[in-house]
Structure 1
């Protein structure tokens, strides 16, 4: 009984430490976004300070961040939709027809660091005069989001019983019809999981956009760098811009967490 009580106390303390370590930087970031640069450097005003909206005014109006938000939304949405359109049928084929070699290629694509491809990408796309446009950003994001979607959906399709499709074929449906009318509706939680994770990756991606975007196609993670100068850093504006990038994704994750959990665990009960 004592051991059980001691373990519960240890678990509660460990959980509190982990939550504090994860939440404290976010809370500090949000609080700093409402401070002036002078207050941020003043340790006596860490908790008690006079809030100001000047940083958000700089971000949303003077720095043209509304356009950067639209750019990030468009790139993330387009890359996610195209990756789902290609990745879901590919994952179904690999799962149902036991395409081990193709699955290995997908796994290798997930392992390859994206930075190793930036130089050849830049060379090829610059010769095609695509650097600075939305199309090159969408294609570069798809390189990571497409293998991610295929990997998640393969596990989900592996968890769906084959008997459902076999029954549909007996009832007169074609293989494509069985996939469209039986398998696809059942895989909505997995598709939601893959789409959400792909969107989050595209929204947060910095490396590809830094090299391949232009002045008119700059996304939010790259635009944050505007607050970092050679001689000084606008910490208030930087924290406000980072909050604008972070909070929408956190809100989305909170509302759709059940789809993420169900989709990621769907293939774990196969066999």
Structure 2
């Protein structure tokens, strides 16, 4: 080795490598979080601005806030009625969907009925917009357009496959020996499901139900076509802030903030079940 040769660097230890990777993951998570949080922060800030301030690019996060947008939105009570309608439709469609999909998911997972599960998956593949015309004709003939019934049924078209496919993986991850032991003690197959599998599947059921409720709460297309003035949901009410001539951006952002609060509260309250359910449903065996 010559005297001018540069000394070789010692390889990084395993501990230092892990620390470097942890820092890189932290930076990546922070960047992604900021990208997703930016529209929400802008929406929340715009709810406290005037329409002139919302459309002025020089006005950032430093401004004099006003509550006028929230007063205007809440004055006629339309947004509160829409939130009530969304809550009714979301709770009913989620409860009925879970009542149907959870036992079906257990049957598909335990008895390996994957062809049946694939048929249900078609409902997630077929574009819902392709069904709107025949649905509207059938529901109009039955006199259901404008009622809660048609909204609940249409939202179940989305919720049932969603809950089913989340719960299939969850039930497949549960030890089958527990149900076999219950069958040995004299329980029927459904009794083993009711007394053993269903209580163990509570985190997954809560996760699937929460996601189905959020999907129903945010659904716009079905409510736009099937609801009337008395049953319209929050997304349709938000759409009414947009007109051909102008858009009430302040009122729209205030209404969007009010629409977001219940979903955020539900996610925060159900965070423990949400994380446990998604983790358990992602693994098998």
The two structures have a TM-score, normalised by structure 1, of 0.94
Which sections of structure 2, spanning at least 5 residues, go unmatched? Answer: 1-11
Alignment partner, residue 139 of structure 1 = 153
Alignment partner, residue 245 of structure 1 = 259
Please state how far the C-alpha of 1:41 moved relative to its aligned partner: 2.2
Deviations 1:53-105 (A, max 9, x none): 11111112225211111000000000000001111111111112221221110
Moved more, 186-195 or 3-12: 3-12
Alignment partner, residue 180 of structure 2 = 166
CA distance in structure 1 between the partners assigned to 2:204 and 2:164 by the alignment? 11
Is residue 2:58 matched to residue 1:37? no
CA distance in structure 1 between the partners assigned to 2:246 and 2:238 by the alignment? 14
The structure whose Rg is larger is: 2
CA distance in structure 1 between the partners assigned to 2:140 and 2:113 by the alignment? 35
Alignment partner, residue 195 of structure 2 = 181
Alignment partner, residue 5 of structure 2 = none
Is residue 2:94 matched to residue 1:80? yes
Is residue 2:65 matched to residue 1:51? yes
The two structures have a TM-score, normalised by structure 2, of 0.90
Please state how far the C-alpha of 1:9 moved relative to its aligned partner: 4.9
2:58 counterpart SS class: helix
Please state how far the C-alpha of 1:254 moved relative to its aligned partner: 2.5
| Alignment size in residue pairs | 271
Q: Given that residues 136 and 226 in structure 2 are in contact (C-alpha distance below 8 angstroms), is that contact kept between their aligned partners in structure 1?
A: yes
CA distance in structure 1 between the partners assigned to 2:230 and 2:49 by the alignment? 30
Is residue 2:124 matched to residue 1:107? no
CA distance in structure 2 between the partners assigned to 1:268 and 1:250 by the alignment? 23
Please state how far the C-alpha of 1:40 moved relative to its aligned partner: 1.4
Please state how far the C-alpha of 1:225 moved relative to its aligned partner: 1.2
Of Structure 1 and Structure 2, the greater helix share is in 1
Alignment partner, residue 150 of structure 1 = 164
Matches within 5 A, 1:116-127: 116-127=130-141
CA distance in structure 1 between the partners assigned to 2:78 and 2:281 by the alignment? 44
Alignment partner, residue 197 of structure 1 = 211
Query: For the structure 1 residues 6 and 264, does the alpha-carbon distance in structure 2 shift closer, same or farther, using more than 3 Å as the test?
Result: closer
Aligned-residue Cα RMSD (Å) equals 1.8
CA distance in structure 1 between the partners assigned to 2:73 and 2:253 by the alignment? 10
Q: Which structure 1 residue ranges, 4+ long, deviate > 3 Å from structure 2?
A: 1-13
Moved more, 215-224 or 118-127: 118-127
Please state how far the C-alpha of 1:136 moved relative to its aligned partner: 0.4
